[in-house]
Amino acid sequence: MTTRRKFLTSGALAAGASTLAAPALAQSPIKWRLQTYAGAALGAEVIKPAIDQFNEIAAGQMEIELYYADQLVPTGELFQAMQRGTIDAVQSDDDSMASPTEVTVFGGYFPFASRYSLDVPVLFNQYGLGEIWADEYAKVGVKHISAGAWDPCHFSTKDPINSLADLKGKRVFTFPTAGRFLAQFGVVPVTLPWEDIEVAVQTGELDGIAWSGITEVYTVGWSNVTNYFLTNNISGAWIGHFFANMDRWNEVPPHLQALMKVCFEQSHYYRQHWYWGGEAKLRVNGPKLKLTTIPDAEWATVEAAGRAFWDEIAAESEVKAKVVAIFKEYNDVMEKAGRPYRYT
């Protein structure tokens, strides 16, 4: 018994001493820098709440620092900066950040690929676009985290647009692929830093904007420098994404990866109802912009040109052909389903 008591006493002391001698391992929080395509006014709605939510729930284990359009790098260099690891993550469409993938042309506003915001998550979650995007970005060292539907693409202009002829010669800020499509109708696409757009309209460098729906036109101040809003659109929903540098993503513990996905999905959901409600309310009650419309029969020629544009893009590569085939299949199903999925 004496030997046993000595053993227990000395063992306990030794254990206590070793516990005291070994300091707790201090882990610094993981820190990321994420830059969005959006300026501060828009970013307050479309990204900041999700980042604040993530940082709060992560409880010191990880912190994402948010930067707005062009704060760290120009929007057109976002992909390269993320790929190099200069920044860790990006919120953008593929088109604006000039990603070197086969799917870049479909990001942002691919003409008439979607009619409503719900089309985008269905295409990515039920029709296979999510897998295609994941594969294409993995090839270039980038993690495609999620895709979401954002606002439609309308024209906001200084002069009224009542026919296709009124588009000719108009210098318009828009997305690369949208500009490529619209050029056949005489539109002159112009690329400028996001924060310079309002002044460019004021000075006459731009005649209008085809970059968003009416909610953003009011939110970011473009309704202060334009007079008219065209109700016809070339896309019912922007396709936007969250991306991350693959190496940095793989360093994040699984539970924080899952948290990031949840917060970003919540951001997509918020944007869906924010835009859906805002687009209608501001058309009806917005005090600044007058609505104009190109007649359906004339606009049908633009929609027909959109389908021809799809075939032109599909001929460029096997992957692009696969994506276009999915758009065709999906829209065929929606049209056959009829109301409320499609109105003919």
Q: How many other C-beta atoms can be found within 10 angstroms of the C-beta atom of residue 265? A: 16
Residues 27-46 pLDDT 10s: 789 999 999 999 999 999 99
* Cβ 190 vs Cβ 66: under 8 Å: no
Q: Which domains does the chain have, with CATH numbers?
A: 30-150+237-285 (3.40.190.170), 154-235+288-337 (3.40.190.170)
C-alpha to C-alpha distance for 263 and 78, rounded to whole angstroms: 21
C-alpha to C-alpha distance for 34 and 90, rounded to whole angstroms: 5
Residues 155-176 pLDDT 10s: 999 999 999 999 999 999 999 9
C-alpha to C-alpha distance for 317 and 299, rounded to whole angstroms: 29
The DSSP call for residue 194 is G
The DSSP call for residue 153 is B
* pTM for this model (two decimals): 0.89
- Preceding amide of 253 cis, omega within 30: no
* Cβ 109 vs Cβ 155: under 8 Å: no
pLDDT at 275 over 80: yes
pLDDT at 3 over 50: no
* Cβ 175 vs Cβ 96: under 8 Å: yes
Residue with tokens 């996905």: 261
Residues 281-290 pLDDT 10s: 999 999 999 9
Name 63's bridge partners. 31
- Whether the CA torsion 197, 198, 199, 200 is positive or negative: it is positive
C-alpha to C-alpha distance for 63 and 53, rounded to whole angstroms: 11
At residue 57 the predicted structure's pLDDT band, cuts being 50, 70 and 90, is very high
Write phi, then psi, for 229 (nearest 5 degrees).
-130, 125
Tell me the residue length of the chain: 344
* Cβ 88 vs Cβ 106: under 8 Å: no
- Whether the CA torsion 127, 133, 134, 135 is positive or negative: it is positive
Type of residue numbered 253? P
- Whether the CA torsion 208, 209, 214, 220 is positive or negative: it is negative
Q: What is the mean pLDDT of residues 83-92?
A: 97
pLDDT at 10 over 80: no
Q: Provide the mean pLDDT of the chain.
A: 92
pLDDT at 13 over 60: no
